[in-house]
């Protein structure tokens, strides 16, 4: 999978109803830590208002997992970025104005080459 972008290895699908995240699904082709991070991130935002989901940090994901080894912390960053990309997509589709600075560029995974 060489130089695939993280957007290719981690995708988050949101079902949003009345501004609340009713359901979340994920698809992850990264390492075990990336899968655990995606799963935890979906649990953390389910049932939350969109604005609150946008404040989710990779640190919160890692803490909810009782920590990740330092060399795997970036896997939780992928989860945060995937959530934010899905939320940006929602804002764009709904025509809701938002601050682009809230949505980081998605990086490659240097750890596993994904």
**35 sits near ligand FES (criterion: CB under 6 A):** no
Single residue of 75, 83, 85, 87 touching ligand FES by CB under 6 A = 75
> What are the structure tokens assigned to 11, written together?
């995708």
Instruction: Choose, from 31, 75, 109, 112, the residue flagged as catalytic.
Output: 75
Residue whose CB is less far from ligand FES, 45 or 78: 78
d(CA 28, CA 93): 23
Single residue of 31, 64, 73, 98 touching ligand FES by CB under 6 A = 31
d(CA 9, CA 29): 5
d(CA 12, CA 71): 23
Residue whose CB is less far from ligand FES, 33 or 44: 33
């Amino acid at each position: 999978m060489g130089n695939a972008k993280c957007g290719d290895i981690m995708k988050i699908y949101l079902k949003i109803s009345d501004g609340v995240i009713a359901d979340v699904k994920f698809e992850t082709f990264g390492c075990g830590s990336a899968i655990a991070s995606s799963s935890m991130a979906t649990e953390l935002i389910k049932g939350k208002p969109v604005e609150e989901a946008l404040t989710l940090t990779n640190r919160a994901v890692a803490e909810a997992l009782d920590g990740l080894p330092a060399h795997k912390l970036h896997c939780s960053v992928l989860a945060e970025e995937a959530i934010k990309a899905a939320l940006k997509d929602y804002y764009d589709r709904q025509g809701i104005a938002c601050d682009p600075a809230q949505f980081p560029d998605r990086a490659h995974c240097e750890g596993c080459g994904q």
